[in-house]
Structure 1
Amino acid sequence: MDNVSIVRIFILTGLNETNNYRVALLTLTFLYYCMILFFNLTIIMIIILDKNLHEPMYILLCSFCINGLYGTAGFYPKFIFDLLSSSHVISYETCLLQAFVMYSFACSDLSILAVMAYDRYLAICRPLHYLSFMSKSRLSKMVCFSWITPLCIFSINVALTSRLRLCSTNIQKILCVNWIIVKLACPNANTIPNNIIAYFTIFLYLSHGIFVIWTYMHLIKTSVRSKDDRVKFMQTCVPHLASLTTFAATILFDMMNMRFGSTDLPQSLQNFISIEFLLIPPVLNPLIYGFKLTKIRHRILGFVHVEKK
């Protein structure tokens, strides 16, 4: 233990196979990140500037897009810089910060999706109580809960990771995640607190998923009763369900690969799996809501029509 040096820098070995097509990957990544910024900022600005959209569903959508910008900002600028550089390294502090951003972004997404499911449950299943339950004060508390809870949990998580003595500097990914850093700990390091927090976090956010399933059981049961409820379900719940399914699939796939995946998979495929949640949802979510939600679609089409004139 005494012979182990203190790690101050990590090597991202997942980027080793990008040398042959670095320019193409750099161009595509930059353009893709610009798309993410444009789509999400468009939805955010439309909701902020249009007072008719200052309703719980749209405010939650706005926070959803803001969280998407937060998560992608923790990955794409650093990844673009790595593609421009010949050495793929990241400092210890920056690696912990990126791990914190990645996890808090993912869990905030799930929390916001759970609140959005609750909002749709009240709107369709209990319309007479909707305004009293989804008051501005309660909505503000829910949004704050969606953001602050993951930030607090993963502050503890990263703090526990920072106390570990590490015996390796190689991260076989293109980004830092907390679980990978913990796996670099020396054999005699005490990782029990890290595991306790990890299982607590899994339980907490698994309960979010169970809550969403419960709300959709009631939503579907209520929606089949009348044509109006079916229309409302198709217009407002289908985008949410698509976002939830996409998010859950990408996160679950990454977690399963990270903990149980084979190292024999091609590095490029491992890289894709590890950043799916940063590739698909940040672009797909604003597109789904932009085209499916009538009010937002009309604002976008109206803006395009004005520009053509």
Structure 2
Amino acid sequence: MNVSQVSYFTLSAYFYIGLFKYVVFLFLMCVYFFIISSNVLLITVICVNRSLHKPMYMFLCSLFVNELYGSLGLFPFLLVQILSDVHTVSVPLCFLQIFCLYMYVNVEFYNLAIMSYDRYLAICYPLHYNKQMQRNTVIKLAVLTWFLPLLNIIVMISLNASSRLCGNIIDRVFCINYYVTKLVCSSATASNIYGLVYTFTVPFSLTALIVYTYVRILKVCFSGSKQTRQKAVSTCTPHLASVLNFSFGCFFEILQSRFDMSRVPNVLRIILSLYFVTSQPLFNPVMYGLKLRKICLACKALLFSQK
């Protein structure tokens, strides 16, 4: 990796909290344990229950796997940094974390868009749903959900990994590609152009798809029967809540990356950063586990079944 003389990055957003760091460490350990246990539970429930081997639950399983993957890219690193007195990270490890976290965010976006499309077909075209969402189609969509983000992340990181850097200070608690791009000595035009083109094609298209599907679903709900409305509310409420939660996280991240946040207290900036990458793994298992009746009953049967 040809990265000038820089061999490590300093994460300058951390600040001294004394012995309080052990309290923060224990709190984050509990959060991480909850994320792992809840997502593993739901993945297991969907995999072992034949009645849940349907497109909606298969996409949910992909979503929960991604939550585990994203958490793995953040929490072990974060826990080590909290206990450390020197907040540095080697260049290869920093790029590895960028890969993991950006892959997680992209896969999350694709997953939510495909789940919106799935609900759109189920509610707006129920008679054609089984024909449209056959097993092969579901597998192809699930593969694309992971493969397309992988291509994007490889291109994005390769543009920075081969660049010469003129600094090593990242004003965050974990590695962010945008901050590495700002450290590039030469012109970062290629990276910036790629970022803009990708943003105005993929995320914009996925957002438009989500908005379109929910507009159509709402139209069907208002003009349909009471049974149709109940079906839409029961299956779409958790997903819509997840989309809104993810949108808030993205908004806070864009706000921090693109605008001067120096007047905002450091602790609040850290909380907003962590919200972006921890809100979904915490929120989704609770929301889907409680709101989707089949999953809720299957979880109770698995946890409390008498031997």
Which band: TM-score by shorter chain?
A: over 0.9
1:220 paired with 2:218, answer yes
- Where do residues 169-180 of structure 1 align in structure 2 (5 Å cutoff)? 169-180=168-179
Q: Secondary structure at the match of 1:87?
A: coil
CA distance in 1, matches of 2:293, 2:129: 20
Q: Distance in 2 between matches of 1:304 and 1:258?
A: 43
| Inter-CA distance 278–18: structure 2 relative to 1 (3 Å threshold) | farther
Deviations 1:70-118 (A, max 9, x none): 1111010011111222221111011111111111111110100010001
Counterpart position of 2:16: 17
CA distance in 2, matches of 1:5, 1:65: 39
Question: In structure 2, do the counterparts of structure 1 residues 18 and 73 end up closer, same or farther at CA, with 3 Å as the change threshold?
Answer: farther
Between stretches 18-27 and 115-124, larger displacement belongs to 18-27
Q: Any residues of structure 2 matched to 1:113-192 within 5 Å, and which?
A: 113-186=112-185, 189-192=186-189
Which deviates further from its counterpart, 254-263 or 93-102? 254-263
Deviates more, 1:25-34 or 1:253-262: 253-262
**Equivalent pair of 2:252/2:276 in contact (CA under 8 Å):** no
**Pair 1:275–1:201, CA change in 2 (3 A):** farther
Unaligned runs of 5+ in 2: none
- CA offset at residue 5 of structure 1? 5.2
Match in the other structure for 1:209: 207
Encode CA deviations 1:216-264: one digit per residue, 9 max, x unaligned: 0110111221111111111100100000000011112111211113212
Give the Cα–Cα distance (whole angstroms) in 1 for the partners of residues 294 and 173 of structure 2: 39
- The aligned amino acid for 1:256 is L
Post-superposition Cα deviations, 1:122-153, rounded to whole Å, max 9, x if no partner, equal 10100111011111111111111111111110
Equivalence for 1:278: 277
Question: How far is 1:184 from its partner?
Answer: 1.3
Local SS of the residue matching 2:14: helix
What corresponds to 1:295 in structure 2?
A: 294
Cα distance in 1 between the residues matched to 2:18 and 2:105: 29
Tell me, in whole angstroms, the C-alpha distance in 2 between the residues paired with 1:262 and 1:82: 22
Distance in 1 separating the partners of 2:170 and 2:67: 25
Q: Deviations over 1:4-57 (max 9, x none)?
A: 951110111112234452111100011110000011111100001111100000
Counterpart position of 1:254: 253
Find the counterpart in structure 2 of residue 263 from structure 1.
Answer: 262
| Residues 167, 19 of structure 1: alpha-carbon distance in 2 compared, 3 angstrom cutoff | farther
Q: Distance in 2 between matches of 1:261 and 1:26?
A: 29
Is the 8 Å Cα contact of residues 159 and 190 (structure 2) preserved in structure 1? Answer: yes
The aligned amino acid for 1:63 is S
SS of 1:175's partner is coil
Letter in 2 for 1:117: S
Partner of 2:191: 194
Distance in 1 between residues matched to 2:89 and 2:179, nearest whole Å: 14
Runs of 4+ off more than 4 Å: none
TM-score by length of 2: 0.95
- The answer on whether the counterparts of 1:57 and 1:119 sit within 8 Å (CA) in structure 2 is yes
Q: Deviations 1:260-307 (Å, cap 9, x if unpaired)?
A: 132121111111111212222111101100001110111122234326
Q: Aligned to 1:90, what secondary structure does the other structure show?
A: strand
Distance 1:18 1:200, change over 3 A: farther
Give 3-state SS (helix, strand or coil) of 1:15's partner. Answer: coil
Size of the alignment, in residue pairs? 303
Asked if the contact 1:17–1:267 (Cα under 8 Å) also holds between the matched residues in 2, the reply is no
- Counterpart of 1:63 in structure 2 is 62
CA distance in 1, matches of 2:5, 2:216: 54
TM-score for both structures, normalised by structure 1: 0.95
**Matched-pair contact (CA < 8 Å) for 1:8–1:92:** yes
Partner-residue secondary structure (3-state), 1:75? helix
In 2, the alpha carbon distance for the partners of 1:175 and 1:18 equals 18
- Is 1:89 paired with 2:93? no
The SS at the match of 1:215 is helix
Corresponding letter in the other structure for 2:198: T
- Distance, in Å, in 2 between the alignment partners of 1:8 and 1:215 is 47
